[in-house]
Structure 1
Amino acid sequence: MCIVGRRKKYPKLPNGFGSIKRLSGKNRTNPYGVYPPTTEFDSDGNPVPVKALCYVDDWYKGFTVLTWYKHGEYYPGREKELTEAGNSSLNGMIEKILSKYSQSKREIADQKTFADIFLEYYENKFGQPYNHPGKKRPMERSVCAAYKNSSVLHNESFRNLTANTLQSVVDDCPLKHASLELIVTLFHQMYAYADANDLCDKDYSKYVTINIDDDDEHGVPFTDEELVMLWKNQNDPTIELILIMCYSGFRISEYLSLEVNTTDWSFFGGLKTDAGKNRIVPIHTLIRPIVIRRLNREKTLLPVTTQKFRVRMYDVLESLGIEKHTPHDCRHTFNSLCDRFSVVERDKKLMLGHAFSDVTNKVYLHRTLEDLRGEIEKIKLCR
């Protein structure tokens, strides 16, 4: 007998609550096994199977049994009360227990601080406690650094956090751009964990931005001799993108989603800062044939992951006898070329996605695609 209609998704049981398993076989009278929480583990750390408390014909009856067990109110055979009760009284009992459970679960979640959620998230992600002995992996160290740099939130109720609260942590942090990126990434991951476990009402991390230029983007531009060598080998697929980057200035990750308009010959896209997002850069005439060739062959500018491209880039530069350069050095090369060929500073900043500090340029600057094209075309081929 099924008192409550079967649902596609049952409430998620918290850790230490026990489990309800549907057993195999179609003709079982009581197909749901109700199991208490595991308390013993073998030498390998695997849970030792426990004996079922009972077997019932409905998941919600099993839930009721576990609720009784959790509060010390279950005794062997008590599940028969659920079978003997009338439909209306049983439905009322289950509804009352569900309501009490949901309320209790909400109250527990409301009490969790940012630190509480972080500790849960950390163990869930890395499979060990935050303060575990031993050497931490690079990703763990990054997460820990971001957590420490968010110390102002540690004792705050996680559910009561807002986008403004999170944003203020990033805005008030005096550290460099790379550290701010780690903080924002931590927010995203913690909210993903919290959302999956009913510990938050809304993902406020998606509204957080980094509102400063990337101050950690150091690099060494390609020399004139190196650029000449690249142009001589422009038919190499890897060198194609290196040249495109040197003459357009986007970050390597931005080429993954960059829009290419071959009608008005422009790139559109950008990531990271507000100034860097949705910016437009004319496609220099020098690289137009390369862009077309690459699109015809690959259908996109960057068909592999940024990491794979880095490896290919390092290999091809080594084969040409060129000193190691990173993809970000291409962005520095574009900046250097703009300076050498007297591209107007404001237009260079627009194309690189750098923010303006003065009100005049920040609010009143309006430049057309043709204005920018006139500037970028000042750049000539190095010989």
Structure 2
Amino acid sequence: MAYDALVEYNRSPYDVDARALTFAEVYEKMLAERINSPKPPSRSTIDAYRVAFQHLTHLHSVRMADLRLDHLQGALDNSGLRYSMQVHVLNLMHQVYKYALKYDIVEKDYSHYAQINIENDNEKGVPFTDEFRKELAKLWERLAIPNTHTPHDCRHTFSWLCDKYGVDMFTKKLLMGHSLGTSVTENTYGHRNLEELRAELEKICH
């Protein structure tokens, strides 16, 4: 084994100490670098990283150099998380590997091959029936509301009110059921509890 390590080192010299870093240690270094960069990520993005990290406890003590696709895919498949949070976890994997490649901690980005194997459940809902839409149109007519609006305008209005009254962006996306993409939701409410969600919504009410 020592001979194999020497052969590998001669073929591609690397920092031995860096190769000994665990997933958790690389994560901390990545996060510190991003926070202290000229263009740091938003608070909600940092919070999202931290939440995702807590869902990868099985990887924390594993050396980055020893991680393989099976480790990453298993962490996703066995997490029991909804699609939106798995997107979040996968994004964190990408960020950690990006840092690890940058500083020669690993030679290959296995997160590139990991995938989410459950259905995207972010936008599920029950559509309005034709009868409901007709009754809604009658109601608008009685209230003298111009017949230029659609039910989807309710979402646009809520989004506008959130922006106008400074509702936290991460909370806004959680409440609207949006995927956070690369910036995603943990289970139903992410890392926000009900009191925190209420406090954000009350910005609109006041």
TM more than 0.5? yes
The separation in 1 between residues aligned to 2:20 and 2:147, in whole angstroms, is 59
| Identical aligned residues as a percent | 29
Which residue of 139, 148, 155 maps to 1:320?
A: 148
The DSSP-based 3-state class of the residue aligned with 1:156 is coil
5+ long unaligned stretches in structure 1: 1-98, 129-135, 229-317, 328-383
> Could you state the TM-score of these two structures normalised by the residue count of structure 2?
0.55
* Counterpart residue number, 2:15: 106
- 1:166-207 Cα shifts (integer Å, max 9, x gaps): 000001101111111111111111111111111111010011
C-alpha contact (below 8 Å) 1:109/1:159 kept by paired residues: no
Alignment of 1:1-383 (within 5 A): 105-127=14-36, 137-224=43-130, 320-324=148-152
Larger strand fraction of residues = 1
Cα separation, 2, equivalents of 1:191 and 1:216: 26
Structure 2 CA distance for aligned equivalents of residues 200 and 172 of structure 1: 24
* Larger-gyration structure (1/2): 1
* Alpha-carbon displacement from aligned partner over 1:347-373 (angstroms, at most 9, x marks no partner): xxxxxxxxxxxxxxxxxxxxxxxxxxx
Give 1:125 shift: 1.4
1:154 partner letter: H
1:223 Cα deviation after fit: 4.5
Using the alignment, how far apart are the partners of 2:148 and 2:61 within structure 1?
A: 55
Alpha-carbon separation, structure 2, partners of 1:122 and 1:225: 52
Q: Distance in 2 between matches of 1:110 and 1:187?
A: 17
Give the partner amino acid of 1:122: L
Tell me the distance in 2 between the aligned counterparts of 1:188 and 1:112: 17
Return 5+ residue gaps in structure 2 as ranges: 1-8, 135-145, 157-206
SS of corresponding position for 1:183: helix
CA displacement at 1:227 relative to structure 2: 8.3
> Of Structure 1 and Structure 2, which has the larger fraction of its residues in helix?
2
TM-score (norm 1): 0.31
> Could you tell me how far apart the structure 2 residues matched to 1:153 and 1:184 are?
13
The amino acid of 1:324's aligned partner reads H
Q: 1:321 to 1:217 in 2, by over 3 A?
A: closer
Higher relative contact order (CA 8 A, sep 6+): 2
CA distance in 2, matches of 1:219, 1:197: 45
